Amino acid sequence: MATLEIRDLHVTVADKEILKGVNLTVKAGETHAIMGPNGSGKSTLAYAIAGHPKYTVTSGSVTLDGEDVLAMEVDERARAGLFLAMQYPVEVPGVSVSNFMRTAVTAVRGEAPKLRLFSKELKERMAELQMDPAFAQRSVNEGFSGGEKKRHEILQLEMLQPKIAVLDETDSGLDVDALKVVSEGVNRFSAAGETGVLLITHYTRILRYVKPDFVHVFADGHIVAAGGPELADELEAEGYEKYTKAGV
Ligand SMILES: Nc1ncnc2c1ncn2[C@@H]1O[C@H](COP(=O)(O)OP(=O)(O)OP(=O)(O)O)[C@@H](O)[C@H]1O
Ligand SMILES: [Mg+2]
């Protein structure tokens, strides 16, 4: 069973320490929510796992099934079964959703899918997500609405079938429809039991639709509390003050 293990991870950005010892284990079939105030380092965690060059790991480890993720090139991480969806996905002008997806699928599966089969698969998945077929010809993320970005994100998940998915959710600015797209996607994956999901958010709104198995509170660069779904309800009622004031 796939396991992502993060051990005592320290990360600096522009010479400033942002992550101060993160410990977390995510297994296939589990959904973990990371919640925490703005600026606490949640996206930094996602970027560090993704291998973004601006984020320097100074100590600690990240492994997927015992393999050193931090030693892998960015594309190797995807091949190993990691999927990372960023809070602010990059626009790729001139590259269509269809071409982008075929390249990603080729990289992850290790061989180019037959064009006809690939087109059929993409069309079917898009129909499931109620996406207009014309969307396949749009440039990646260019001018996408919040909801379209989310559909595109879940489309990638479905096509790539990762072992572990890290989803950094904006949820601000997303309407209920977009939230439902993400939630249904996440729920489908966790129900199948083959993908572990790490869902990063700072609102509990999305957690009305996704029932995480574990909730972690993130403050000042590390996890300061952990619990079950009831912790999300507590955060909704009381906010993060308790965790940030204590100076932990
Ligand atoms: N590329 C960067 N250059 C400089 N500072 C950065 C960079 N990336 C992150 N930081 C800083 O690191 C800290 C943590 O930012 P991060 O984006 O990880 O927070 P977050 O928990 O995701 O916040 P939010 O809930 O608003 O998404 C912030 O103080 C931020 O300004
Ligand atoms: Mg963030």
Tens of each residue's pLDDT in the chain, 248 residues: 899 999 999 999 999 999 999 999 999 999 999 999 999 999 999 999 999 999 999 999 999 999 999 999 988 999 999 999 887 888 889 999 999 999 999 989 989 999 999 999 999 999 988 899 999 999 999 999 888 888 999 999 999 999 999 999 866 667 888 888 888 888 888 888 889 999 998 778 888 888 899 999 999 999 999 999 999 989 988 989 888 875 44
Q: What pTM was computed for the model?
A: 0.92
> Residue 45: helix, strand or coil by DSSP?
helix
Q: Are 80 and 71 in contact (CB under 8 A)?
A: no
Which residues form the pocket of ligand 1, taking CB atoms under 6 Å from any ligand atom? 13-14, 18, 36, 38-44, 54, 87, 202
**b (16+ CB within 10 A) / e for 7-20:** eebbbbbeeeebbe
Cα-flanking dihedrals φ and ψ of residue 205, to 5°? -50, -45
CATH number of 3-94+162-245: 3.40.50.300
Residue nearest to atom 7 of ligand 1 (CA): 13
CA separation for the pair 83, 98 (Å, rounded) = 18
| Interval between CA 246 and ligand 1 midpoint (Å) | 21
Q: Please report the atom of ligand 1 found closest to the CA of residue 46.
A: 18
For the chain, the domains span 3-94+162-245
